[in-house]
Structure 1
Amino acid sequence: MKVLLKNQQKRIVINPERIKKVLKKAFKLLNLQKAELSILFVNDRRMRALNRQYRGVDRTTDVLAFPQQEGYKLKVASYRLKNKEDFLRNSLPFTHNSPLVLGDIVINIHKAKCQANEFGLTFYDELNRLLIHGLLHLLYYDHEKSRYHNQKMRKKEKELLNRIS
């Protein structure tokens, strides 16, 4: 597992090791130990600009995800396949020795802090939720597609968060 973190906001201190620990557990649960992703932490202003640029929505949001493997449907091992080897054989065109580059997650740290207060959560509980939410988007879960897909994604999100805690 390889996680690249970049923090472009200065107001809120984050613990990179804590974040990597959560992602390591999630990767293990999803049989994605050889996967890579990058995470960018930003403020409201930067997130609004990114949301406008990539989604055409002129407001801030809490998380954006940019899958690296456009055009491919990832088969998440813990959902459809029995083991890691099946996942490696049946997903993307890469060798067993090369990493699976999932993509990029952008998290609005300021919005995460506000939402934690709003939902009565700790900052890291909300940050974990956003990390898992973004990760699932990289695996082609899409809650905006339909009610069914929303329920499917929320269920997987809840399952992972419960098992990580």
Structure 2
Amino acid sequence: MDNINFFFEDIERPLYLSDESKQWLVQIAQHFEAKIIELNYIFCSDNYLLEINRQYLNHDYYTDIITFGYSDSILFIEADAFISIERTEENAQSIGITAEEELHRVMAHGLLHLLGFKDKTEAEAAEMRKMEDWALSLRVPRGT
């Protein structure tokens, strides 16, 4: 799993990220017969991600994830995914789930986009949510 990397910009490393998280991401990709060439998750603050959103997408709002894919094929994943830890923690609190579960949902969301899933329309968003739930069902909770 040397092809999946976790980096941390201006935040502390979340305690619940582990090699099991990386194995889980590989499992998701393999389900779709995709190979992860290099997938970098960069965990950061709201302000760090806001600056990326402004600079590269011309959006002036907070978001939980921005994914930049570098491959022309959904079968070969090469990407950087920037995730705001602050945003995922706030979202988790507002919907009543753990920060760990929400962070993993967002990680899966980014990977699912790279695998070709979209969420612009209501139908696409419903399918994306279904796929996120499926992805989360594959995770083995820590300590079991």
Q: Which has the higher contact order (CA 8 A, sep 6+)?
A: 1
- 1:131-165 CA deviation, whole Å, 9 max, x = no partner? 00010112232201x22322222222222222335
Matched AA of 2:63: T
Q: 1:34 to 1:45 in 2, by over 3 A?
A: closer
Paired residue for 2:108, among 110, 113, 132? 132
The 5 Å alignment of 1:2-151 reads: 2-11=3-12, 13-14=14-15, 15-69=17-71, 72=72, 74=74, 91=75, 100-144=76-120, 146-151=121-126
5+ residue gaps, structure 2:
none
Superposition RMSD in Å: 2.1
CA 18–124 in structure 1, closer or farther in 2 if over 3 Å, else same: farther
Tell me how far 1:18 sits from its aligned partner: 4.5
Q: C-alpha separation between the residues in 2 aligned to 1:138 and 1:54?
A: 18
Q: Please, what TM-score do these two structures have when normalized by structure 2?
A: 0.81
- Deviation of residue 104 (structure 1)? 1.2
Paired residue type of 2:114: L
Gapped regions of structure 1 (runs ≥ 5): 75-90, 92-99
Give the fraction of aligned pairs with identical amino acids, expressed as a percent: 26
- Deviation of 1:73 after TM superposition, in Å, equals 5.2
2:127 maps to a residue whose letter is K
Checking the alignment, whether the CA contact within 8 Å between 1:116 and 1:123 is kept in structure 2 is: yes
Secondary structure of the residue aligned to 2:87 is helix
Q: Which has the larger radius of gyration?
A: 1
TM-score under structure 1 normalisation? 0.72
The separation in 1 between residues aligned to 2:36 and 2:83, in whole angstroms, is 23
